[in-house]
Structure 1
């Protein structure tokens, strides 16, 4: 087979955190044909993974209220471990600068009850060189817009403290927000809050889709029996638009979106509802619900190289490939996969 044709058949490669049946946590780079290509054992449960631009390494983050991170080379080389400051912990997400030199992490300054964005020099062993405000409580997920300078942050609005484990301390008064920050100056550029009657709709995960449309997923912490819409769309300078699914699907989401990602072309977004065993699909331009796939405890999502196509991971031990039309192919796995996944190459 010609080399150029053989290259077209190289399996897509992903990375995610997970746990095995012995309770040992790890993060791995893998593909669906060969399994693990690189794995590293973690001291506790991991959460999300970020890919450094250039594709030479990926970083796995501790789940809240963990304090560790580890950068793992795609090829040979030793992992580089780093930690949050003693009075901080990670929220499990991070994003690199466009040139790959800096890593930005969502963190909790729990002494003051404020969210911060940590700044680390990836070229110097991930040494922390600064931080700036997250402009809200509980910054969770974050991403860069296409200009490489504007950061969007999902502030969940929920106050936590490591002394209280994962207890949520301010549910009656929580104030989630979606904010945009200039990473060069740390200045707040724009802040969006939901309507007052939706203040218990925690904005938790997001993806930047085509035309810098931010699609965000929420988790509802309000009264039992209420099932508000959980998927929002936002373009800078406009008001967020929250879009419901059909009534039967809305109930099945169980008030919890676990992960959001855009496909390769940015026109279709997948949003998982692991408590309901569903993955939902959305047309970004039309801001329209397309349908669902069923996968028990399916939470992690990553695009593939094909439009309207995604990798799905499950805490029940499945990997799956799915299309936005709802078709899904399961692949058995020896691991219980955590909340997120990324495409490495």
Structure 2
């Protein structure tokens, strides 16, 4: 049986990789899940211009995907509280394997690769205790489960690897759930979200908490800049009329996060909900979306508000040259720049919550 310690130690002696790359899948710039008119669901590979490059059917609604850094495969996650994920060959469209959460665990719809793509990391809920865990899966062993480690908090929703190593930023949302209660949130009055920095072998390195009066601000999604700056999007579990910050910025080891807010009217228009977060293509700014408020809010890296773009049901957001690519629930892909928001493509589908960028699209 493969063990976590034994497998990670063997990575230093790993052999050469197969030749197949993302170019063999048409060199997609983005991955995104969507609902289709007939009631079905699919994962799409998209060009930088918004064109469909491939379509792979999914058995149920997706949420996000983890793209392998070099090989043309993606792990598509079921929507929380899902208990399975599909490893998809993006060249053939075949499902290579199905990952099942261990008994007593469920996935949160996100994941990332570490150790050069040799290990998949999946944020999970150990729902009998509410403890957040990070599942570890060995890609070259057919995605065999090799263990799990603490996430540093409760409700780890998103995980992203920091540049230049294997330290991960973990968005511990702080919300306790249990499959017996569906998507109900069981601990709003006592929740304690945090941003944690975790290494696959060294464990939890740092935990960053919000002030007590923001303990209902669930940290949900992440975007990373090349210098290691982490942007995190939050979803307020209190009164939606409360104009609380929904964007935070932090660097490992540098104290309290910067919390960014728009002017009052714009902040209230977000309705306490940031769906996605992304740095711009050149890293000079950062933005969050709100499908509930129909807004894209743009900020400078120091947290200063730059401006707002209005777009109904906008949620997906990813870096693009000159700004961002955004997606909405009406099938549109929109290029957002400093000066304008311009539709690139419109299709008969409802894009789900996230756009996943591949490489340096």
TM over 0.5: yes
What's the counterpart of residue 329 of structure 1?
Answer: 343
CA deviations 1:69-107 (Å, max 9, x no partner) are: 122223236222222123211100101115111110111
Deviation at 1:59, TM superposition (A): 1.9
What's the counterpart of residue 158 of structure 1?
Answer: 175
Q: 1:296 aligns with which of 303, 312, 330?
A: 312
Provide the C-alpha distance between the structure 2 equivalents of 1:21 and 1:15, rounded to a whole number of angstroms.
Answer: 19
Over aligned residues, Cα RMSD in angstroms? 2.0
SS in 2 for 1:99: helix
Deviation at 1:310, TM superposition (A): 1.6
1:180 aligns with 2:194: no
What's the counterpart of residue 4 of structure 1?
Answer: none
1:22 aligns with 2:38: yes
What's the counterpart of residue 205 of structure 1?
Answer: 221
Higher mean C-alpha deviation, range 88-97 or range 258-267: 258-267
SS in 2 for 1:248: helix
1:311 aligns with 2:325: yes
CA deviations 1:101-155 (Å, max 9, x no partner) are: 1110111111221111011112222221111011211000111112322111011
Q: 2:89 aligns with which of 44, 61, 73?
A: 73
Deviation at 1:184, TM superposition (A): 2.2
What's the counterpart of residue 140 of structure 2?
Answer: 123
Answer yes or no: is the 8 Å Cα contact 2:229–2:251 preserved in 1: yes
Provide the C-alpha distance between the structure 1 equivalents of 2:111 and 2:229, rounded to a whole number of angstroms.
Answer: 19
Higher mean C-alpha deviation, range 275-284 or range 322-331: 322-331
What's the counterpart of residue 43 of structure 1?
Answer: 59
What's the counterpart of residue 164 of structure 2?
Answer: 147
Deviation at 1:267, TM superposition (A): 2.6
Q: 1:287 aligns with which of 292, 303, 307?
A: 303
Provide the C-alpha distance between the structure 2 equivalents of 1:341 and 1:176, rounded to a whole number of angstroms.
Answer: 24
1:221 aligns with 2:237: yes
SS in 1 for 2:265: helix
Deviation at 1:12, TM superposition (A): 5.8
Shift in CA distance, 300/98, structure 1 to aligned 2, threshold 3 Å: farther
Mark the runs of 5 or more structure 1 residues left unpaired by the alignment: 1-6
Answer yes or no: is the 8 Å Cα contact 1:93–1:140 preserved in 2: yes
Provide the C-alpha distance between the structure 2 equivalents of 1:327 and 1:33, rounded to a whole number of angstroms.
Answer: 14
Answer yes or no: is the 8 Å Cα contact 2:50–2:345 preserved in 1: no
Deviation at 1:34, TM superposition (A): 7.9
1:87 aligns with 2:87: no
Deviation at 1:247, TM superposition (A): 1.2
Answer yes or no: is the 8 Å Cα contact 2:318–2:355 preserved in 1: yes
Provide the C-alpha distance between the structure 2 equivalents of 1:32 and 1:146, rounded to a whole number of angstroms.
Answer: 23
Matches within 5 A, 1:105-120: 105-120=122-137
Mark the runs of 5 or more structure 2 residues left unpaired by the alignment: 1-22
SS in 2 for 1:250: helix
What's the counterpart of residue 117 of structure 2?
Answer: 100
What's the counterpart of residue 3 of structure 1?
Answer: none
What's the counterpart of residue 59 of structure 1?
Answer: 75
1:249 aligns with 2:266: yes
